[in-house]
Amino acid sequence: MKRRTFLQGSAVGIASGLTGYLSWIPRARAATIRKTFYITEGFVTQPDGVDVYFQGYSSTSTTLNVPGESFIVQEGDTVEIEVINTLGDDHSFVIDGMVDSGTIAGGTSTLVTFTANAAGSYLYYDNLNAPFNRVVGLHGGMAVMPSGSSNELYAGSPTFMQQYIWIMNEVDPAWNDTISNGRTPRKAFFPYYFTINGRSMRVPGSPDYSDPAIDAGYNPETRLEGSIGDRALVRILNAGMAMHSVHFHANHVEWLARNGQIRPEIWEKDSLFLPNNLGSLDVIYPFDPPPDAWPSVTTGHFPMHLHDEMTQTAGGGLYQFGLATTIAFK
């Protein structure tokens, strides 16, 4: 089996033929949402051809999802997640402010039950052996919609038309290799790969360029696509250890929240600070011509990338194979 197939297995949006953004239909009443995650391990091929070990919350016992599947619930819902640990060592499932599974021993499973008690954007992750279990891939995103709403981050927020979850992470392959052998890394963290929803950017002419299963610029769960008048909510969650400067081209975003804290005033910004170690940002990208550009943007492709330069490389210097994606005005 080609190792890359592990990664393709995680491209849920492609497999099901759906558009990339996460769809949501509000309900009048709270419901019980059930999911199953298998804690598994495997390898993902990086832009320089190196296969790197990861662990993930996966949709089946024989695949690897890094990150775990994003999902949306509604405020007040009861969420029941069966977490099946197929590995030999201890793991956990935690959402800060909502639930902590406690230790799930190797070869056992736990039913994690909680109430989605507040609208917002959340990282679910393994908090054991911190930060190693989290950065080796055991993390994913959950959105909690305000009760009865299909287009707000929080009740009364500016409205959006489509929503995305972006999870940032970076990878030190030496750490991952040490973890694969059941040991705890001792050496200083030295990230070699930078990912958004588990993928890095490819440049035209390179292998895998424009393959939506591999290229972060084309993966539909990552790439922002819209027509003039669209508004994309982007829930940015940082599973990694590096803080970032997030830069959107072609327009400013409306900055709604950082680390789950609603901003008292909504500023329009093109660069935003994303804190490390579980930091988050919630922004709306308006597919509008920016007010201060001439000629104004109405079609074309533009980048979202990070302005901390190391993140734009892979393997210690392969430039523009890092953490970036595409903003496409259709």
Binding residues for Cu ion (CB under 5 A): 247
Q: Supply the minimum distance, in Å, between the C-beta of residue 290 and Cu ion.
A: 14
**Cβ-based burial of 309 (10 A; exposed 0-12, middle 13-18, buried ≥19):** exposed
Alpha carbon distance 113, 39 (integer Å): 17
- Where do runs of H (alpha helix) occur along 60-198? 132-135, 173-180
Report the residue number, 79 or 246, with the smaller CB distance to Cu ion: 246
AA letter at 56: G
Q: Supply the minimum distance, in Å, between the C-beta of residue 269 and Cu ion.
A: 12
Report the residue number, 35 or 247, with the smaller CB distance to Cu ion: 247
The full DSSP string for 18-83 is --SSBP----SS--EEEEEEEEEEEEEE-TTS-EEEEEEEESSTT---SSEEEEEEETT-EEEEEE
Q: Cα dihedral sign for 257, 258, 263, 267?
A: negative
Secondary structure tally for the chain: helices H, strands E = 4, 22
Report the residue number, 157 or 251, with the smaller CB distance to Cu ion: 251
Q: Supply the minimum distance, in Å, between the C-beta of residue 154 and Cu ion.
A: 28
Report the residue number, 153 or 250, with the smaller CB distance to Cu ion: 250
- 138: tokens are 């055991």
Report the residue number, 247 or 269, with the smaller CB distance to Cu ion: 247
Report the residue number, 139 or 252, with the smaller CB distance to Cu ion: 252
Alpha carbon distance 201, 215 (integer Å): 5
Q: Supply the minimum distance, in Å, between the C-beta of residue 315 and Cu ion.
A: 22
Report the residue number, 4 or 247, with the smaller CB distance to Cu ion: 247
Distance of alpha carbon 200 from the chain centroid: 12
Alpha carbon distance 308, 197 (integer Å): 18
Q: Supply the minimum distance, in Å, between the C-beta of residue 326 and Cu ion.
A: 13
| Number of residue whose CB is nearest Cu ion | 247
Q: Supply the minimum distance, in Å, between the C-beta of residue 304 and Cu ion.
A: 8
Q: Cα dihedral sign for 260, 264, 269, 271?
A: negative
Q: Supply the minimum distance, in Å, between the C-beta of residue 249 and Cu ion.
A: 6
Show Cβ contacts of residue 55 under 8 Å, excluding neighbours closer than 6 positions.
39, 40, 41, 64, 66, 87, 91, 133, 136, 137, 138, 179
Report the residue number, 118 or 272, with the smaller CB distance to Cu ion: 272
Tell me which H or E stretch contains 133.
Answer: helix 132-135
Q: Supply the minimum distance, in Å, between the C-beta of residue 2 and Cu ion.
A: 34
